[in-house]
Amino acid sequence: MTAGKEISLKVDHTLVQDATGTMAFLQFEAMGISRVKTEKSLIYVDHNTLQTGFENPDDHIFLQDMASNIGVIYSRPGNGICHQVNLERFAEPGKILLGADSHTPTAGGLGMLAIGVGGLDVAVAMGGGDFCLMMPKIINVKLTGALAPWASAKDIVLEVLRRLSVKGGLKTILEYTGDGIKHLTVPERATITNMGAETGATASLFPSDEITLEFLKAQGREDVWRPLAADKNAVYDQELEINLCKLEPLAACPHSPDNVKPVKELEGMKINQVVIGSCTNSSYLDLMKVAEILKGKKVHPDVSLVLACGSRQVFQMLADNGSLAEIIKSGARVLECACGPCIGMGQSPKSAGISLRTINRNFKGRSGTKDAQVYLVSPETAAASAVSGVMTDPRSLGEPFVVPNPEKFSIDDSMFIFPAYGDKEIRRGPNIKALPLKCELDRDLQGEVLLKVGDNITTDHIMPAGAKILPLRSNIPAMAEYVFEPVDPDFARRAKEKRGGIVLGGDNYGQGSSREHAALAPMYLGVTAVIAKSIARIHYDNLINFGIVPLIFMDPATYDTIGQGDRLEICGMKESVERGDEELTARNLTSGQKFSVKLLLSDRQRRVLSAGGTLNFMKAENS
Ligand code: F3S
């Protein structure tokens, strides 16, 4: 278990959501395996619940039929956001969860080792395959003291982001310890582990203690509890200490979750929209605090407040105890329990609008409005600001109130459809297209630089989402038309005209979500390699999974010497991959210059890349 060495994990649970699940299911099907081999596998329909055309409902039916046949539990649209519902009903301390969603680490709040990966890795795990990764370094985040009034779990994780940045967690696991933990409920811990993903961390982990047991009891699931804590003599690669007493309400300013400032420095800024919800902050306790703040008040006339509970359980409980009535009376617009505005599915802000959101990401354009300014804040800051019409430090509300932990959550699993393990015919709408497959890796790599991009390019830049594009997720030829659209709308046309080529990236290329379409759709357009200063972990793995060669400049300064349109070549690429060469010589055929690139692959990744991707590899293994 040395950091940087490949390890393989036996996966207990898997999770996909509809945006990644259609593809994962098509991939599972293509492997020719009839039943899932995990202890528990789930599909949550929470991303594309808007039905503006036939595509989404058709996909939901496909997912429901497939789930039933192959042994996956199906969570119906309206039942809630995957990570919130999973925490409530399925997460188990000490188990390993692999999820095709970058915020899968949310379940770490309950002591589960939960990792976000591409859908293909999940499909492989569903088929009984191990999950292989480089052993991460472990950062100990020690929390001491207790939060001051009006500071929240969101402020803790914003402080982690302020210190570590959106790159500081790359190839690490954030393990939380310290006496501050005992003041945090499981949903608060889950807010922290959720946004650990924004640091690039592989996972974030809290111990499983008495508080975990209380939560599980209230969910009627105490039988899955077991105590888990760090060894007394545990040694860490890095330590970070946060004194909770000193934290104040914070906000991540546009356009990055690590651009963190105290709310009081931003006070008085006029706002146009407030969005409360998402898998980060939509638990019962979050929404109860919001309801308390809104009670007897009205949303400011210049502000649109939209709100979505994270799960039907939360929604039901707010309805039962009258809090929902307070929220409605305030003038808030209540949405269904789903990702909604977080993924750009409706509720885009006005042009150049300022939107305060309790979500986890504020990348430019993700809200659906290119010039909107999105600030990430706690539910308390969001609700206080919705009433005042300006950015408001919740401490100005005076004495804080206490929302007691519920002794019993409202439990109703009727929106899950449990598998029938039948052979029923799968209904496939016209939006479900066959999976594009790649040939095995070419002997030599040769191609034109189709696009040169800067640092911190996200998967949203590479394969944007939103109401227009997401419904095409199982129709790759149609979806590929939008590859790199926010950066260069001509990219898809050029890639097709040149019959593919190479993408040049800066630092932290492919950060953000686990969206495997950000590798699959470029592969369809003929992208054969990405050469960058550095590549985000999940995207690096996704590139390999789809047969695209991920290369890192040995000398980052080489990036400046290569231009868009240059032709590059690496002779003997396939042989180098198979041999395990870590340093390769590339040639810029346009300038005549030679340069070195790094290719770090495990044994398995070498074989996958050589075969042209995981699907080809698995098919060969199973035949
Ligand atoms: Fe959904 Fe946004 Fe979370 S898209 S899963 S609510 S990050």
Ligand 1, atom nearest to 101 Cα: 5
pLDDT of residue 471 exceeding 90? no
Is 279 close to ligand 1, i.e. is its CB under 6 Å away?
yes
For the question of residue 515 being annotated catalytic, the response is: yes
Determine contact, residues 190/106, Cβ cutoff 8 Å.
yes
Ligand 1, atom nearest to 46 Cα: 1
- pLDDT confidence of 467, banded at 50, 70, 90? confident
- The bridge status of strand 250-252 relative to strand 260-262 is antiparallel
Is 461 close to ligand 1, i.e. is its CB under 6 Å away?
no
How far apart are the CA of 343 and the centre of ligand 1, in A?
6
Q: What is the pLDDT of residue 352?
A: 97
Ligand 1, atom nearest to 278 Cα: 6
Determine contact, residues 33/118, Cβ cutoff 8 Å.
no
What is the token pair recorded at 576?
């180098």
How far apart are the CA of 592 and the centre of ligand 1, in A?
46
- pLDDT confidence of 221, banded at 50, 70, 90? very high
Q: How large is the average pLDDT for residues 407-419?
A: 98
What is the token pair recorded at 17?
């959501």
* DSSP symbols for 86-124: HHHHT--TT-EEEEESTTGGGGGGGT-EEEE--HHHHHH
| Ligand 1 pocket test target in 82, 279, 309, 538 with most atoms within 8 Å of CB | 279
Ligand 1, atom nearest to 82 Cα: 5
The domains of the chain, with CATH numbers, are 6-246 (3.30.499.10), 250-397 (3.30.499.10), 445-622 (3.20.19.10)
Q: How large is the average pLDDT for residues 219-248?
A: 97
pLDDT of residue 178 exceeding 90? yes
Interatomic CA distance for residues 313 and 321, integer angstroms: 12
- pLDDT confidence of 438, banded at 50, 70, 90? confident
How far apart are the CA of 237 and the centre of ligand 1, in A?
30
How far apart are the CA of 77 and the centre of ligand 1, in A?
14
Residue nearest to atom 1 of ligand 1 (CA): 339
Q: What is the pLDDT of residue 466?
A: 79
How far apart are the CA of 17 and the centre of ligand 1, in A?
10
Q: How large is the average pLDDT for residues 205-212?
A: 98
Say what the pTM is.
0.86
Q: What is the pLDDT of residue 622?
A: 67
For the question of residue 46 being annotated catalytic, the response is: yes
pLDDT of residue 291 exceeding 70? yes
Interatomic CA distance for residues 150 and 128, integer angstroms: 46
- 3-class DSSP state of 373: strand
Residue 351: CB partners within 8 Å, gap ≥ 6?
Answer: 369, 371, 372
Interatomic CA distance for residues 203 and 199, integer angstroms: 10
Residue 362: CB partners within 8 Å, gap ≥ 6?
Answer: 252, 253, 254, 255, 256, 257, 374, 375, 376
**Catalytic residue (one of 47, 60, 357, 395):** 47
For the question of residue 513 being annotated catalytic, the response is: yes
For the question of residue 231 being annotated catalytic, the response is: no
Interatomic CA distance for residues 152 and 157, integer angstroms: 9
* Secondary element (H or E) of residue 176: strand 172-177
Ligand 1, atom nearest to 17 Cα: 5
- Per-residue model confidence as pLDDT tens digits over 149-159: 999 999 999 99
Is 195 close to ligand 1, i.e. is its CB under 6 Å away?
no
pLDDT of residue 436 exceeding 90? no
The answer to whether the bond into 83 is cis (omega within 30° of 0) is no
% of residues, the chain, pLDDT over 90: 87
Residue entry with tokens 């210190």: 163
How far apart are the CA of 136 and the centre of ligand 1, in A?
24
Q: What is the pLDDT of residue 516?
A: 87
| Ligand 1 pocket test target in 44, 198, 359, 459 with most atoms within 8 Å of CB | 359
**Catalytic residue (one of 18, 59, 101, 155):** 101
pLDDT of residue 9 exceeding 80? yes
pLDDT of residue 283 exceeding 90? yes
For the question of residue 494 being annotated catalytic, the response is: no
Interatomic CA distance for residues 295 and 330, integer angstroms: 7
- Per-residue model confidence as pLDDT tens digits over 421-435: 988 999 999 888 878
For the question of residue 226 being annotated catalytic, the response is: no
- The bridge status of strand 567-570 relative to strand 583-588 is antiparallel
**Mean pLDDT over all residues of the chain?**
95
- Per-residue model confidence as pLDDT tens digits over 292-350: 999 999 999 999 999 999 999 999 999 999 999 999 999 999 999 999 999 988 999 99
| Ligand 1 pocket test target in 49, 101, 307, 335 with most atoms within 8 Å of CB | 101
* DSSP symbols for 217-242: HHTT-GGG---B---TT---SEEEEE
Rounded to whole angstroms, what are the CA distances from 117 to 200, 403, 542?
A: 12, 35, 8
Residue nearest to atom 3 of ligand 1 (CA): 279
How far apart are the CA of 428 and the centre of ligand 1, in A?
26
Q: What is the pLDDT of residue 623?
A: 67
Is 339 close to ligand 1, i.e. is its CB under 6 Å away?
yes
**Catalytic residue (one of 46, 155, 286, 541):** 46
pLDDT of residue 144 exceeding 80? yes
